[in-house]
Chain A
Amino acid sequence: MAFTDLIPWRRGSQAPARTSSENLFSALQREMNALFDDFFRSWGSATLPMPRMTFSPSITVHESAKEYRVSAELPGLTEKDIKVELSGNALTISGEKKEEHEEKRGTTVYSERSYGSFYRSIPLPEAVDRNKVKAQFKNGVLTVTLPKTAQAKAAHKQIPVKAE
């Protein structure tokens, strides 16, 4: 028995289209929200916010003698969709990925890719020169370069090993 057989809405379906199950849930959620909205509106309360689809991009952190480099995989986005922030001791990457293929006159046959908003926060080591942080977006990968402070670089010293 395949693992997917245990999931009722996937039983017997060839292509486990994730969006169809998500749509099912978001449709239900929408119904529930509408119900609550109608209920609370009579007391003049604000409408409840709609839950949004979210995803979490994969990240990798590299360290060299000079700098830290944080890379995040964000395929299908453009640099305009991405926000990079330094706040306190954290680097925050956030934004939203919209469906780039318009559903106009098309049907989704298969869907695995992630859409929605994303947010990742990475704690920073103290030894980062905050004024020299740079971000670059290329081929679907965001790379944030965080140079180490001169002090931190000085604190690191490689000791040569001599043979007698």
Chain B
Amino acid sequence: MKDLAKKTAPATPVTVERTHDWPVYLPDVDIIERNETFELYADVPGVDPNSITVNFEQGVLTIRAGRPSAAPNTDVIYSEFEPGEYERSFTVSDQIDAAKIAAQYRNGVLVLTLPKVEAAKPRKIEVKVS
């Protein structure tokens, strides 16, 4: 299942015309495989849940979210993170049932549930005794 984990971020496969020049960050992700699903956890702290988009197009899953800028009339006196955008794409194999991908945002983490197609689920084959 290395397809899903493939890092495709620097060369985004989806063609996007950028109309801004703020920085784009790669969120850190964990991917967990379970019997019937894959779960993808992406760290996107501080974003407005409404700014999150999850797109699936031609086998590529793209997550995007905006990092808000600071309140006006304030000076940044020390900074380890800056406003910008989170973006990351993943090549998803045909093991995934794309129609059933679900997304949830809680405590700064975007959790995607990617169900496997029926054929990819592990199965126990019954041994018949004749």
Contact = CB atoms under 8 A, between A and B. Distances in A.
Interface of A: 14-15, 58-65, 68-69, 71, 73-78, 100-101, 103, 105-114, 139-141
A138 to B, nearest CB: 8
Interface stretch (B12-20, B41-49, B55-63, B96-104): B41-49
Contacts of A114: 28
Interface in B1-34: 1-2, 4-6, 28-34
B85 interface: no
A63 B74 contact: yes
B30 A139 contact: no
Interface of B: 1-2, 4-6, 28-35, 38-39, 41, 43-49, 70-71, 73-82, 105, 107-109
Contact of B5 (A15, A64, A100): A15
A103 B29 CA distance: 16
Contacts of B43: 73, 75-76, 113, 140
Contact of A109 (B28, B38, B75, B77): B38
